[in-house]
Amino acid sequence: MANQRMQAYYDVLHRTPKPISFDGKISEIFGENVFHMEVMREYLPSEAYKSMKKAIHDGTRLDRTMADQVASSMKDWAISKGATHYTHWFQPLTGATAEKHDAFFKPVGPGKAIERFDGDLLVQQEPDASSFPHGGIRNTFEARGYTAWDPSSPAFVIGKTLCIPTIFISYTGEALDYKMPLLRALHEVDSAAVAVCNYFDKNVNKVSATLGWEQEYFLVDKALYNARPDLMMTGRALFGHISAKGQQLDDHYFGSIPERVSAFMRDFETEAIRLGIPVTTRHNEVAPNQFECAPIFEECNLANDHNLLLMDLLEKIARKHDFRVLLHEKPFAGVNGSGKHNNWSLSTNTGVNLLAPGKNPKSNLQFLTFFVNTIKAIHDNSDLLRAAIAGAGNDHRLGANEAPPAIISAFIGSQLTSLLDKIEKNVKAGKMTPEDKTELKLNIGKIPQILLDNTDRNRTSPFAFTGNKFEFRAVGSSANCASAMIVLNTIMAKQLKTFKKEVDARIKKGDGKDEAILKELQKLIKESKKIRFEGNGYGEEWVKEAKKRGLSNLKDTPRALAVWGNKDFVKLFDEMNVLSPRELAARQEIEFENYIMKIQIEARVIGEMVQNFILPAAVNYQNKLMENVKGLIDVLGPKNGKVAAKAQIDVIERVSEHINKMKDLADEMRVARKKANNIADIEKRAIAYCDMVKVHFDAIRYNSDKLELLVDDEEWRLPKFREMLFTR
C-alpha cells in the first residue's frame, strides 16, 4: 500500500458486519444485571428491604446492620451473575466515570479464602484520588477523598464487576463530583415543588425531576480513526476539506440504517437493556455516519447514571464491531455536530406531570404555575444555564447555524404565548370581580385542547416547551447531563421558594388562593418576558434583537465560565445548599483548566500534524512535479518545456505558498501558546488560549485543506472526509 491512509481505506472496504451476540426477546432481559427493587425483595430480609425502600424514597441513611445485610445480599446476587470484583462507580469532574476494582476474594489462612463484602465496603471507600481534579479543595496533605454509596441508584453488574453508584467527596465533605450536587439540587427542587403543589393537592409529598436525554454520536471505522492522530488525541478532525457531498441532499436523516451499524446498535442496546436502561429509539441523524439513541425518560439522577453508562457502553461495544464512536460535539467541520437534548420535567408521587396541562381549570392552574415559574427561573439565571453547557467542544456548535445559539431564550409556542398575554392583561390589581375570574378560568380551562394542535415546534430554540416538558437543546453530546441538571433544578427550586413566599404574603393580605397565584403569575410573566423568543434562533436578526433586549451572548467557554464568579450566583448556590462558595470556585477553576488543556492539546496536535503529515505529503508531491517539469525541459528545451509544464509549475507555486503560510502560522501559534502558558491567572490564561492560540486553528487548517485539494490523492496520508463520513 502507498501509505497508511490507503491501507486503512482498503481495510474498511473489506469489512463485514459482525454477528450480534443476542437474538432473543428483549423484554426477557430487561434489567437482568441490575440489583433493582424486585431483586432486593427476593434477596433481602424484609426489614432490610423496608429500610432500603425508605432510603431510596427519602434519601435517609442506612444504619450499619442494615448496610451489612444489603451488602451481603448484593454480593450473593452479584456472584450469582458471575461477578468476582466490586467497584465504587463515581463521576469525578474529568467528565468521564471512574472505577477501581477490588476482589470479593479474601485469603483467611493457608490455602483458605472466602468471598467477603460487608456494609463498610458498600457504604464508603477511600480511593487513592489525588489525581482527580479538585480545584484546590484537596491539598496534598489532606489528599484523601471518599466515595459514598448512593442507594437511590441501583447497583449493577458489568462483565465480572459489581458496580455501586457513589458520590465522591473530599475528606472535608466537599463535593468533588457531579452526583453530589445533583442529589442536593434534586432534594431542593423536591421540597420547593411539594410546597407549591400543596396549594392544589395536599396528597403530594414528593416531587421528582425527570430527565429524558437524546444522545447523538458519530461512528468511524477503527482503521480510519487510527490513521487520524487528531481523532485519536482530540476526538475531532482538526484538518480535512469537506467532501464534495456532505449533508446537502438530506438523505441520511431517518434513512435506512446500514447493516454493520445496525448490528452494532443491536449489540449495545442489548447490553443497555440488561442494565435497565430503557433505550427505545434509534435513528440516523442529519450528518452522514451520525446517529442517535434515546431511552424513555426516568428520574433525573437515575437517568443521568444511565446516560453515563450508555456512553461507556457505546465506546466498548463499538470496538467489538471495529468502529470508534465519536462523542465530541463537532468532529467534522462542515456537517452537523452532536448534541444531547435534555428533556426535563417534574413529576409528583401522585403520578402528575407538573408540566403537562391537566383536565380541568384547577390542574391547569397548577400546570401554569410550574410553567411560568420555569420561564422566570430561566429568565433570571440564563447566564448560569449558559455556563452549565460551556466546553471547548460545544463552542463549535453553539450559534454555528445548526445548533441553538449561545443566547439563552425560551420557546413556548403561539398558543401559550397568547394565553400568557391574556393573563398579563386581564388579571386585575386589587379585588377581582367574579366575571374577571370566570373569564380567566375559561381561558385556563382551554389549555389541553390548544396544546394538542400546537404543532409549531421550533428547532432553533435552546430551551423549548414541547407540550409536556421543556427540552434543553444546547447541551453538548459529550457532557455529563448533571452539569445542566444541577443548574436547572437549583434555579427552579429557588424560584418556587420565592413564589411560595410571595403567594403566601398575598394570601395574608386578603387575596383568595387562586387570585393570589394568578396575580403572582402575572407579575412573573411581565418580569420574564424578554427571555421568550418564538422566532428563528439561527438568524442574524435574533443576535441583534437579543442585544436590544439585553440578553447575554456569551460566545465562548472562558466568557461563559466567568459568570460562576458573580456574587448573586455564588449566593444562590450557597443558599440552596447545592454548592458552597468554595465548591463553586473549585468547579470554575477545574472547568477553566479543562478548557485550557483541551485547546493546548489541539494546538500541539495541529503543530505535529503540520510538520509530520501535511508538509511531507505536500513536499513529496511537489518533488514529483519538479521531476516532471525538469524532464519536460530536458526533452523539449527550456522554452517549450516551460510552456508544456504550465499547470505543474502553477501547482508547484501554490503548494509552496500554502506550505509557507501554514508553517508561519503554526510558528506564530507556538509563540502565542508559550505566552499564554506564562499567565498566572487561570481565567486570563483561558481567555488567552481562546483569543490568541485557538484563533490560529482555522487559518492553519485553511491552508492545509487547500493543500489536500492540490496534492495527489495517493500522497495524502490522512483519511479524507468522504472516507470517514461515507464508508462503514
Binding positions for ligand ADP, rule: CB under 6 A: 210-212, 214, 294, 296-297, 341, 343-345, 353, 466, 468-469
Q: 166 or 394, CB closer to Mg ion?
A: 394
Joined grid coordinates for residue 596 = 485550557
Nearer to ligand ADP, 296 or 505 (CB): 296
* 133: partner contacted, choices Mg ion, ligand ADP, none (Cβ within 5-8 A by kind): none
- Which does residue 208 bind out of Mg ion, ligand ADP, none, counting CB within 5 to 8 angstroms by kind? none
Nearer to ligand ADP, 49 or 213 (CB): 213
Q: How many CB atoms lie within 10 A of CB 13?
A: 11
3-state secondary structure of 532: strand
Nearest distance from C-beta of residue 629 to ligand ADP, angstroms? 56
In 478-575, where do the E strands start and end? none
C-alpha cell at 509: 393580605
Environment class of 195 (CB within 10 Å of its CB; exposed 0-12, middle 13-18, buried 19+): middle
Task: Spell out the SS3 assignment of 248-317.
Answer: CCCCCCCCCCCHHHHHHHHHHHHHHHHCCCCEEEEEECCCCCEEEEEECCEEHHHHHHHHHHHHHHHHHH
DSSP β-ladder status, 470-472 and 463-465: antiparallel
Minimum CB distance to ligand ADP smaller for 4 or for 353: 353
In angstroms, give the least distance from the CB of 130 to ligand ADP. Answer: 38
CB count, 10 Å around CB of 15?
16
φ, ψ of residue 200 to 5 degrees: the values are: -105, -30
- Find the residue with minimal CB distance to ligand ADP: 212
Residue 210 touches which of ligand ADP, Mg ion, none (CB < 5 to 8 A by kind)?
A: ligand ADP
User: Of Mg ion, ligand ADP, none, which one does residue 553 interact with (CB within 5 to 8 Å by kind)?
Assistant: none
Q: Which one of Mg ion, ligand ADP, none interacts with residue 443, CB within 5 to 8 A by kind?
A: none
In the complex, least distance from residue 210 CB atom to ligand ADP, rounded to whole angstroms: 4
Task: Pick what 366 binds: Mg ion, ligand ADP, none; C-beta below 5 to 8 Å, kind-dependent.
Answer: none
Query: Looking at this protein, which amino acid is placed at residue 575?
Result: E
Q: Cell digits for 185?
A: 439540587
Q: How many whole angstroms separate alpha carbon 714 and alpha carbon 693?
A: 32
The residue among 214 and 285 lying less far from Mg ion, judged by its C-beta, is 214
The residue among 214 and 591 lying less far from ligand ADP, judged by its C-beta, is: 214
> Least distance in Å: CB of 30 to ligand ADP?
16
Residue 179 near residue 88, CB atoms below 8 Å: no
Partner whose binding site includes residue 336, from ligand ADP, Mg ion, none (CB under 5 to 8 Å by kind): none
Q: How far is the CB of 378 from Mg ion (least distance, A)?
A: 17
Distance CA 529, CA 214 (A): 29
**Residue 490 binds what, of ligand ADP, Mg ion, none (CB under 5 to 8 Å, by partner type)?**
none
- Which of ligand ADP, Mg ion, none lies near 689, with the C-beta cut-off 5 to 8 A by kind? none
> Are residues 393 and 329 in contact, defined by beta-carbon separation less than 8 angstroms?
yes
116 three-state secondary structure: coil
CB of 106 to Mg ion, least distance (A): 48
Pick one of Mg ion, ligand ADP, none as the site partner of residue 297 (Cβ within 5 to 8 A by kind).
Answer: ligand ADP
Beta carbon of residue 339, minimum distance to Mg ion (angstroms, whole number) = 9
Beta carbons of 492 and 413 less than 8 angstroms apart: no
Q: Which does 344 bind (CB under 5 to 8 A by kind): ligand ADP, Mg ion, none?
A: ligand ADP
Question: Which of 214, 511 has the CB closer to Mg ion?
Answer: 214
Q: Which helix (H) or strand (E) holds 667?
A: helix 646-677
Q: Contact at 8 Å (CB) between 150 and 301?
A: yes
| For helices 615-636 and 646-677, angle between their N-to-C axes, nearest 10 degrees | 160
Q: How far is the CB of 598 from ligand ADP (least distance, A)?
A: 28
Nearer to ligand ADP, 125 or 343 (CB): 343
Residue 494: name its binding partner from Mg ion, ligand ADP, none (Cβ under 5 to 8 Å by kind). none
Comparing CB distances to Mg ion, the nearer of 330 and 341 is 341
Choice between 113 and 296, CB closer to ligand ADP: 296
Distance of closest approach, residue 294 Cβ to ligand ADP, in angstroms: 4
| Separation CA 224–CA 369 (nearest Å) | 53
Q: Which stretches of the chain bind Mg ion, using CB under 5 A?
A: 214, 341
Residue 312 dihedral angles phi and psi, to the nearest 5°: -65, -45
Parallel/antiparallel/unpaired status of strands 85-89 and 161-170? parallel
CB of 696 to ligand ADP, least distance (A): 37
**Least gap, CB of 342 to ligand ADP (angstroms):** 8
Rounded Cα distance between 279 and 294, Å, is 6
Partner whose binding site includes residue 466, from Mg ion, ligand ADP, none (CB under 5 to 8 Å by kind): ligand ADP
4 binds, among Mg ion, ligand ADP, none (CB under 5 to 8 A by kind): none
Alpha carbon distance 283, 298 (integer Å):
21
User: With contact defined as beta carbons under 8 Å apart, do 636 and 644 qualify?
Assistant: yes
Closer to ligand ADP at the Cβ: 492 or 610?
492
Strands 101-103 and 410-411: unpaired
Among 465, 472, 468, which residue's Cα sits nearest to residue 489? Answer: 472
Please provide residue 145's backbone torsions phi and psi, each rounded to the nearest 5 degrees.
-130, 155
H-type alpha helices, 346-481: 361-380, 382-388, 414-426, 434-445, 447-452
Rounded to whole angstroms, the Cα distance separating 153 from 299 reads 10
> Where do runs of H (alpha helix) occur along 321-394?
361-380, 382-388
Residue nearest to Mg ion (CB): 341
Residue 121 or 474: the one with the smaller Cβ distance to Mg ion is 474
The nearer residue to Mg ion, 292 or 723, going by C-beta atoms, is 292
Minimal distance, residue 457 CB to ligand ADP, in Å: 8
Q: Could you tell me the smallest distance in angstroms from the CB atom of residue 423 to ligand ADP?
A: 24
The minimum distance between CB 297 and ligand ADP, in angstroms, equals 3
Considering beta carbons, is residue 97 or 343 the nearer one to ligand ADP? 343
353 binds, among ligand ADP, Mg ion, none (CB under 5 to 8 A by kind): ligand ADP
556: its cell numbers: 465562548
Partner whose footprint covers residue 595, from ligand ADP, Mg ion, none (CB < 5 to 8 Å by kind): none
Question: Residue 340 CB, nearest distance to ligand ADP (Å)?
Answer: 11
Cβ atoms of 225 and 232 closer than 8 Å: yes
> Taking the complex as a whole, how short is the minimal distance between the CB of residue 404 and Mg ion, in angstroms?
11
Q: Specify the residue, 246 or 295, whose C-beta has the smaller distance to ligand ADP.
A: 295
- Which residue, 385 or 724, has its beta carbon nearer to ligand ADP? 385
Q: Measure the CA–CA gap between 110 and 515, rounded to whole angstroms.
A: 78
Q: Are 463 and 470 in contact (CB under 8 A)?
A: yes
